[in-house]
Structure 1
Amino acid sequence: MDIDFQTPPVVNEEVVIAASDSVSEIAGMQHSGMPDHDYLATSAQITRETADIGVQTDLGMGEMTELLGLKTKSQNPDAVMMELFVQKVTSSDRNVKQYTGVPSKSILDGLFCVLDEASPNLKYWSGQGSAEEPYYQQNTQLKKSGPARKLSKFEEFILTLVRLRLAIFAFTLADIFGVSNARVSQIFTTWMNLMYHVFTPLLIWPSTPIIKKFLPKSFKCTYPNTVCIIDCTEFFIQKPRSPTAQSRTFSSYKHHNTYKALIGIMPSGAIIFVSNLWGGNTSDRYITKFSGFPDFVKPGHEIMADRGFLIRDLLLEKRAKLIIPPFTKKCNWGKGRRLL
């Protein structure tokens, strides 16, 4: 049988057009993911729709409260920033030590509990007269007058320690905690006064037998009668507006306006004496003489200090001795001696 391969087969055009329309309709349904009939829906689609309905109906009160809290915080960015900062500071022992100077989170919580119990109704410091208990502290049934505090007591405590540790400017902390500059200064002054009154009685000058009991070996060999090591430390402050205050607080040693305090420690390292603050222009001798330190010195005591303390005569009046250890040792270069 002869076949003519050059002649194309006859095709009905109407059939071709109808078939193409059906294919397009099927492809459109597949792309939209919506079947033509309910019985064509897949099990995955049914499971997903059921899960969505379960999420909408089974949302408990706890989740609702959390969502409302997140919505409220999103409307108040200052509260979010403050909360994140406090969480960062207290997230680990390392962060607590870096930001506040306190060795660990547990010690930080312990210090706050002591301060909180010492003053449950803490009032902001606003001068010498503000130290008296107001009426709402005498009667616990009355609420504090004035606007409510924006920060909790623990957040104020963190603000104080961070500023004390890192010397951050007030306007920076005001932005972080969402309060005014004046409020930051007021919080800092209040908590510093509270810590002074609570922790000052803990600074106790120990007896001579206790000091010798914990004397390091290096002191037992060379300075066995040393009971205290003293030195003055300075804190940088902002330049005062008053010219008189500028001259009294300017330290020629630090080339900055500072406050100065006398610190005394046992040879073992425990702090046993802290003086009041003086202007950076005050000499070490003057601070030592009028800080009350000589009242703790007993006959036979040896006080160790550096070359800047010209107090030998003050200690001789107490029949005590001033120890100034050598600050140089031999070396093989230069003048043959170098600083320790």
Structure 2
Amino acid sequence: MNHYCCVPQCSSWVKKNPELSFHTFPKAGKERVVVETKLGNKELVDRRQMWIRLLKIGKNPSIHMRVCSLHFDESDFLQKERVKRRTLKPKTVPSKNLPKISHDAAAGPSSRIRRTRQMEAHMLNEASATNNEATNVFPLCDDDDNVEDPQERKAAEDVLAQVDSQNTVEVVPPGPSSRDSAVQVNTPKVLTLYELITSDEKLRNFTGINNFAIFDSILEIFEKYHKDKRVRRLSIRQRIMLLLTKFKTSLTYVTLGSLFGITPDLAKTYIYEMMPVLSKILKPLIVFPSTTQITKNMPICFKEFQDVRVILDCTEIFVQSPKCLCCRIRFYSQYKSNITVKFMTGVSPGGLITYISKPYGGRASDKVIFEESNLISLLNPNRDAIMVDKGFVIDDICNLYKVKLIRPPFLRHKSQLSSEESILNAKIASARVHIELGSHRMKVNESPI
């Protein structure tokens, strides 16, 4: 057979080098060899692929391609008697006379190689110009007899060698793995809302928390009682900020996902997971203050209502319609004309939430919720007062417990309100609006809650 060695930069030929043996490539997937990576790890690689990688073939070899014995060590062959043909040991890979470049790199210069060669020529031209200047300073000739002083000649050669080393650029021709596969661009990092909230003012506008000291206290309690060993895209601090941002701004999950760098479904999942835990942490903060604490923080707009201890109102939240017909009837609100959940909230004159009832269906009236809450038992008879709107028809209950009831007057069987009723209505409206807007100023001696 007229075999040639297919390894790049190898010119072995069976007729020219009859003492050499020529070997075929191993079959794909038949054997694996252990290879140590640059990081020191060991991995199993197909023996055929290892031959292709070491010999820099650059393509899938055919059945006619051969590798000569110059690329193997003598210990890689089996020595058997009465066998003229040399056979390689199992799991043997080429280890000697390995090529430096592949056939593709040596066949024709690519655009990248051309650019490298142009740069190399430019650097060599600069080095040549520098060499000419150095030659003018230290003239040399090929004949050693023409140099009068050998030490002067040696000094000139040292200078030229130093100039060559400073102006010569070593260009390594790229292999098959160094082709231009894509254009890589360093894109700037997009900051999330968590990274943009850097001041107390921004924290208050997005989450409703006044400062980072309070936020860090909530985070400390959360980490103490909530042990989560799962790996999350967002940290606990980021997830708490996500939940508080949802409560404060009521943004959609799509918007929240974009602001925090996650998907809308993941933002929804985090909010649903964090809500029960955060509710348990913040629920003890809702306490009913004493009359002394209420008096210390009484705003100016309540100067006509100094005995008011709590302002009551009912809040409704829209919910999904239940499948059960009885539940739909129970949750349907005539006032909202929709399926809602209703609960009663109590606010102090200073603007602090002091009471939250259990949830009821939207069908429940304000009077029923007030009666079942048993809130009136917390008030002092003949001393405290309750401020409500017109929906709370609880005169009989307040008279029973001897608690004063402050409510806007009704226009029943009247063409208009009297002057006293109009003035009282304006004062009540002013006080309630002041509470709802939260524009009052708290006194210096805040309550401990």
Shift of 1:96: 2.1
Paired position in structure 1 for 2:22: none
Asked whether the equivalents of residues 115 and 195 of structure 1 are also in contact (C-alpha less than 8 Å), the reply is: yes
Q: More relative contact order in 1 or in 2 (CA 8 Å, sep 6+)?
A: 1
Offset of residue 39 of structure 1: 7.2
| Cross-structure match for 2:8 | none
Instruction: State the one-letter code of the partner of 1:290.
Output: E
Q: Is the 8 A contact 2:322 2:328 kept in 1?
A: yes
**Deviating more after overlay: 169-178 vs 267-276:** 169-178
Which of 308, 311, 318 pairs up with 1:229? 311
Structure 2 distance, partners of 1:227, 1:329, is 27
The range that moved more, 224-233 or 285-294, is 285-294
Contact 1:233 1:262 in 2 (8 A): yes
Q: Residues of 2 paired with 1:191 and 1:322: CA distance?
A: 39
Correspondence 1:242-321 to 2 at 5 A: 242=323, 244=325, 245-300=327-382, 301-321=384-404
Counterparts of 2:264 and 2:305, CA distance in 1: 53
Residues 1:180 and 1:227: Cα distance change in structure 2 (over 3 Å): closer
Preserved CA contact (<8 Å) 2:226 2:277: no
Q: Deviations over 1:131-165 (max 9, x none)?
A: xxxxxxxxxxxxx4xx5333211122122112222
| Partner AA of 2:227 in structure 1 | N
CA contact (8 A) 2:315 2:343 kept: yes
Correspondence 1:121 to 2:227:
yes
* CA gap 1:113/1:38 in 2 versus in 1, 3 angstroms: farther
Query: Which residue number in structure 2 is paired with residue 84 of structure 1?
Result: 192
**Deviation, structure 1 residue 304:** 0.6
Q: Which residue of 1 aligns with 2:42?
A: none
Structure 2 Cα separation of the partners of residues 105 and 189 of structure 1: 24
Out of 284-293 and 210-219, give the one that drifted further. 210-219
1:205 aligns with 2:288: yes
Identity within the alignment, %: 26
Aligned CA distance change for structure 1 residues 286 and 187 (closer, same or farther; 3 Å): farther
In structure 1, distance between residues paired with 2:313 and 2:132: 88
SS where residue 188 of structure 1 aligns? Answer: helix
Say whether the 8 Å CA contact 1:205–1:273 is kept in structure 2. Answer: yes
Question: What SS does the aligned partner of 2:390 have?
Answer: coil
Report how far residue 296 of structure 1 moved: 1.5
Aligned-partner residue type, residue 293 of structure 2? I
Q: Structure 1 residue aligned with 2:262, among 157, 174, 178? A: 178
- Check conservation: 1:236, 1:259, Cα contact below 8 A: yes
Corresponding residue of 2:200: 93
Report SS of the residue matched to 1:109. helix
Q: 1:211 to 1:180 in 2, by over 3 A?
A: closer
CA distance in 2, matches of 1:276, 1:39: 93
Higher Rg = 2
Contact 1:248 1:280 in 2 (8 A): yes
1:167/1:246 Cα in 2 relative to 1: closer, same or farther (>3 Å)?
farther
CA distance in 2, matches of 1:188, 1:227: 34
In structure 2, how many angstroms separate the alpha carbons of the residues matched to 1:191 and 1:278? 23
Name which of 208, 219, 237 aligns with 2:302.
Answer: 219
2:245: which partner in 1? 162
The structure that is helix-richer by fraction is 1
Distance in 1 (alpha carbons) for counterparts of 2:275 and 2:253: 15
Deviation at 1:323, TM superposition (A): 0.7
- Write the letter of the residue equivalent to 1:228: V
Is the 1:247–1:281 Cα contact (8 Å) retained in structure 2?
A: yes
The one-letter code matched in structure 1 to 2:335 is Y
* CA–CA distance in structure 2, aligned partners of residues 39 and 252 of structure 1: 98
Partner Cα distance (1:98, 1:257) in 2: 31
Pair 94,234 (structure 1): closer, same or farther in 2 beyond 3 Å: farther
Q: CA deviation at 1:305?
A: 0.7
- The answer for the alignment partner of 1:28 in structure 2 is none
Kindly tell me: are residues 209 and 102 of structure 1, through their superposed partners in 2, closer, same or farther at Cα, counting changes over 3 Å? closer
8 Å CA contact 1:156–1:187 kept in 2: the answer is yes
The one-letter code sitting in structure 2 at the alignment partner of 1:291 is S
Structure 2 residue runs of 5 or longer lacking an equivalent are 1-121, 134-165, 167-183, 411-415, 420-424, 431-449
Once the two structures are TM-superposed, the CA of residue 199 in structure 1 deviates from its matched residue by 2.1
**Root mean square deviation, CA, Å:** 4.0
Q: Is the 2:254–2:263 contact (alpha carbons within 8 Å) kept by the matching residues of 1?
A: no
1:150–1:179: 8 Å Cα contact kept in structure 2? no
Aligned length: 244
CA separation of 1:110 and 1:260: change in aligned 2, threshold 3 A:
same
Matches within 5 A, 1:35-74: 35=126, 37-38=129-130
Pick the aligned partner of 1:151 from 234, 241, 253: 234
Partner of 2:89: none
Match of 1:8 in 2: none
Residues 160-185 of structure 1 deviation map (CA, whole Å, 9 limit, x = unaligned) = 1122223334455456553573x544
Query: Given the two structures, how large is their TM-score scaled by the length of structure 2?
Result: 0.46
* Mapped partners of 1:92, 1:256: distance in 2: 40
Q: TM-score when scaled to structure 1?
A: 0.58
CA change 1:166–1:251 in 2 (3 A) is farther
Write the distance in 1 (CA, Å) between the matches of 2:292 and 2:299.
Answer: 14
Q: For the Cα contact (< 8 Å) 2:317–2:341, is it kept in 1?
A: yes
Give unmatched runs, 5+ long, in structure 1: 1-31, 42-49, 51-70, 123-143, 332-336
Distance in 1 (CA, whole Å) between partners of 2:362 and 2:249 is 20
